[in-house]
């Protein structure tokens, strides 16, 4: 990559011609927005203070961009976090805080539930749809996992083969590339074949390469990017033995592989001559993959690294320490695009023309993980973390079977059973917990020492307690409702509602569309086309048809397809 300059007018809001008859005009010089999203990763990186390995592509990105050191997920696991990212809403406020609701049928049926989708308030749209409505080409490669099926108008494309190169000439794009190779499952591997798709042949051919993405690589091909004797630091909450060190090395090896894959995308961006038009954002979807990281509301599960490279070189090589939450990503993308964030968005822009005042707190919540419940709420300021344990009679450790595939988890369980864990390793296996916890993350970054009962911190405890209560009251907390009752609220009788078919009104040469389902988003395309459904925003000319239409409210089944002229 190279460093360059661009006039500060990158975000000027001069309007040009319409992209099509129902979207807003594209703003001249609207920046492209590229999100590079790694999975399950804490700041185990040289530019964030960990010098164990080298990551040349991310280090170069950091040298040309801004590092954000106080960036936090809203949950320690992916599906609730992605619900927040794609809507700008707290998962606990829209009933998306249980992991997961669309998968793991056996877990849900064992709890007397069924697979379902959360149903956000009717005004809520996916952020990609809003960007599409303003002329952006929006692509997702390829993870969704939003706690609901994306509505028909959410993406121009979403698959393992999509790329910004498929857009119309000159159209600004919002593109996401998800790097799965750092996922927890790749610690106990071997690699799923599709996680290696970001190579020199990317994006590949759908028919030729698609079958090759099935299954796992052979164990002998599950390669290492680090020496097997690489010295590594083991966090004090894990057992420092050969098995755990193997997991830690595998994590670093996966990070190096992810860095190579990021380099593939950045090289393609530069080759296409788009670096000077694109805001590049690299971040991870929650904290690290190891035990007592993922699924926890400690910083090891919530604090994630982020790097943003701006087209005008602003802030190159600097650190931004403002408090940022995942719910702030969507409004910030809107701000960069010159779009005022909608009133219903719960996050706030941390950059761009609509930048808000800095946050004082970030908030997080956890409820169900697979078949295990543990309701916890978290509030953090620059220094202190407050945890409200709503199930204090339950221990910290949850027997999540998926996690127990890891060597490091087996070492912890063996040490627990043999009584060989030290004080900090054993702490996770306590059979109950206090109602409230308060940690000084500067003095105690691993959050071992609860200060809630210390009179010296009584004022801070009360401040954080009130901040938590205010957050729950202001935004609502559907995690406090039994999940079966929540399912009934979303799907009365536990039957998924169906979005009402679009109704066509013809006046002169115009077609006006509506649906009686509140919150339904209507899509249209030329009849017989296999292209994406375009968001409907204003009447269409009937002579430009024939057309077909669909309506879809998030959490509902989509409507049937309606044609004009009628078939």
Q: 65: burial class by Cβ within 10 Å (0-12, 13-18, 19+)?
A: buried
What is the distance between the alpha carbons of residues 73 and 82, in angstroms, rounded to a whole number? 9
CB 448 within 8 A of CB 427: yes
Helix H or strand E segment including 494: none
Q: Which residues contact 429 (CB under 8 A, 6 or more apart)?
A: 395, 396, 397, 412, 416, 421
Helix H or strand E segment including 461: helix 458-475
Catalytic site residue from 78, 86, 118, 468: 78
Which is nearest to 85 in space by CA: 43, 116, 127?
Answer: 127
Alpha helices in 275-374 (DSSP H): 299-302, 329-336
What is the distance between the alpha carbons of residues 86 and 100, in angstroms, rounded to a whole number? 16
The total of other beta-carbon atoms located within 10 Å of residue 221's CB is 11
Which is nearest to 556 in space by CA: 507, 512, 515?
Answer: 515
User: 369 has which bridge partners?
Assistant: 99, 372
Q: At how many degrees (to 10) do helices 329-336 and 78-87 cross? A: 30
Question: Nearest 5°: phi and psi at 418?
Answer: -90, -5
What is the distance between the alpha carbons of residues 520 and 500, in angstroms, rounded to a whole number? 8
The total of other beta-carbon atoms located within 10 Å of residue 443's CB is 9
Cα–chain center distance at 14: 31
What does the H/E/C string look like for 224-281?
CCCCCCCCCCCCCCCCCCHHHHHHHHHHHHHHHHHHHHHHHHHHHHHHCCCHHHEEEE
Helix H or strand E segment including 500: none
What is the distance between the alpha carbons of residues 281 and 270, in angstroms, rounded to a whole number? 15
What is the distance between the alpha carbons of residues 400 and 383, in angstroms, rounded to a whole number? 30
Q: 428: burial class by Cβ within 10 Å (0-12, 13-18, 19+)?
A: middle
CB 307 within 8 A of CB 48: no
DSSP calls for 398-424: ---TTGGGSHHHHHHHHHHHHT---HH
The total of other beta-carbon atoms located within 10 Å of residue 557's CB is 14
* Cα–Cα distance list, 382 to 20, 79, 310, 474 (Å): 46, 26, 25, 21
For residue 388, give the 3-state DSSP assignment.
Answer: strand
Q: In the annotation, is 78 catalytic?
A: yes
- Per the document, the length of the chain is 567
**Residues designated catalytic:** 78
């Amino acid at each position: 990559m190279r460093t360059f300059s661009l006039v500060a007018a990158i975000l000027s809001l001069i309007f040009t011609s319409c992209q099509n008859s129902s979207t807003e005009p594209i703003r001249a010089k609207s920046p492209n927005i590229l999100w590079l999203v790694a999975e399950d990763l804490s700041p185990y990186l040289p530019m964030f203070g960990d010098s164990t390995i080298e990551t040349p592509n991310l280090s170069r990105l950091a040298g040309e961009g801004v590092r954000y050191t106080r960036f936090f997920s809203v949950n320690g696991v992916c599906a609730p976090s992605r619900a927040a990212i794609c809507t700008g809403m707290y998962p606990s406020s829209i009933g998306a805080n249980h992991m997961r609701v669309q998968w793991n049928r056996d877990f849900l049926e064992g709890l007397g539930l069924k697979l379902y989708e959360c149903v956000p308030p009717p005004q809520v749209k996916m952020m990609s749809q809003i960007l599409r409505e303003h002329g952006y080409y929006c692509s997702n490669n390829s993870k969704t996992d939003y706690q609901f099926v994306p509505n028909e108008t959410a993406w121009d494309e979403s698959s393992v083969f999509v790329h910004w190169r498929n857009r119309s000439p000159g159209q600004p794009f919002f593109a996401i590339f998800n790097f799965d190779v750092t996922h927890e499952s790749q610690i106990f591997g071997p690699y799923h074949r599709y996680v290696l798709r970001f190579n020199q042949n990317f994006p590949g051919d759908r028919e030729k390469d698609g079958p090759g993405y099935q299954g796992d690589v052979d164990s002998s091909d599950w390669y290492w990017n680090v020496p097997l004797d690489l010295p590594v630091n083991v966090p004090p909450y894990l057992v420092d033995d050969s098995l755990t060190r193997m997991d830690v090395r595998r994590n670093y090896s996966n990070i190096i592989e992810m860095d190579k894959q990021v380099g593939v995308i950045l090289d393609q961006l530069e080759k296409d001559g788009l670096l000077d038009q694109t805001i590049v954002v690299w971040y991870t979807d929650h904290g690290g993959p190891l035990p007592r990281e993922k699924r926890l509301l400690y910083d090891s599960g919530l604090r994630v690294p982020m790097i943003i490279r701006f087209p005008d070189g602003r802030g190159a090589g600097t650190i931004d320490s403002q408090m940022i939450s995942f719910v702030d990503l969507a409004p910030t993308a809107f701000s960069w695009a010159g779009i005022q964030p909608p009133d219903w968005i719960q996050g706030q822009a941390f950059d761009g023309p609509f930048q808000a005042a800095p946050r004082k707190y970030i908030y997080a919540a956890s409820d169900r993980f697979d078949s295990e419940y543990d309701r916890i709420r978290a509030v953090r300021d620059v220094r202190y973390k407050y945890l409200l344990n709503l199930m204090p009679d339950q221990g910290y450790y949850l027997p999540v079977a998926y996690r127990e595939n890891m060597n490091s988890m087996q070492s912890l369980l063996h040490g627990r059973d043999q009584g060989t864990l030290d004080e900090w390793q054993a702490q996770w296996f306590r059979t109950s917990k206090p109602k409230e916890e308060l940690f000084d993350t500067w003095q105690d970054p691993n959050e071992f020492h609860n200060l809630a009962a210390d009179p010296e911190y009584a004022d801070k405890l009360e401040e954080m307690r009130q901040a938590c209560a205010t957050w729950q009251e202001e935004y609502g907390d559907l995690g406090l409702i039994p999940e079966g009752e929540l399912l009934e609220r979303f799907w009365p009788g536990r039957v998924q509602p169906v979005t009402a078919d679009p109704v066509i009104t013809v006046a002169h040469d115009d077609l006006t569309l509506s649906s009686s389902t509140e919150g339904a988003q209507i899509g249209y395309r030329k009849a017989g086309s296999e292209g994406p459904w375009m968001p409907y925003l204003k009447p269409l000319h009937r002579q430009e048809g024939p057309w077909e239409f669909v309506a879809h409210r998030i959490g509902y089944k989509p409507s049937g397809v309606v044609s004009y002229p009628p078939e």
